[in-house]
Amino acid sequence: MINKTNVINNVVIQTIDKNGKISKDSANTDFAANLQAALTAESDESRVESYRQSLVERFGNVRIQSVGNDQSSMDELGMGTIGSGNIVIAPNILEQMANDPQKAAFYEKAIAHHFDHLPILRAEMAAMNHRITSCGVVIHPNGEVTYYVSGEETPEYKAKVEAENKAKQERKVAQQKEAEEAAQEMFAKQMQMLEMGYQQKAKELASERATFAQNMGFATQVDSLIAAYQAQAQNLSLY
Helix (H) or strand (E) holding 193: helix 155-208
Residue 191 lies in domain: 159-237
* 16 vs 173, more confident: 173
Question: pLDDT exceeding 70 applies to what percent of the chain?
Answer: 59
* pLDDT value of residue 239: 57
Ranges 52-61, 125-134, 189-198: which has the least confidence: 189-198
Helix (H) or strand (E) holding 95: helix 91-99
Same-domain status, 80 and 119: yes
Q: How many helices (H) and strands (E) does the chain have?
A: 6, 7
Exposed/middle/buried for residue 163 (C-beta within 10 Å: 0-12, 13-18, 19+): exposed
Closest by Cα among 51, 53, 67, 91 to 148: 67
Same-domain status, 36 and 75: no
The total number of structural domains in the chain stands at 3
- Rounded to whole angstroms, the Cα distance separating 179 from 173 reads 10
Q: Is the pLDDT of residue 24 over 80?
A: no
- Rounded to whole angstroms, the Cα distance separating 119 from 135 reads 12
Residues 156-208: tens digit of each pLDDT = 767 776 777 877 887 888 788 888 877 777 766 666 666 666 566 666 666 66
- Rounded to whole angstroms, the Cα distance separating 151 from 125 reads 8
Q: Hey, which residues does 83 pair with through a beta bridge?
A: 134
* pLDDT value of residue 150: 87
pTM of the predicted model, to two decimals?
0.53
* 5 vs 59, more confident: 59
Same-domain status, 147 and 187: no
Same-domain status, 69 and 45: no
Same-domain status, 124 and 67: yes
Q: Is the pLDDT of residue 21 over 90?
A: no
Same-domain status, 164 and 227: yes
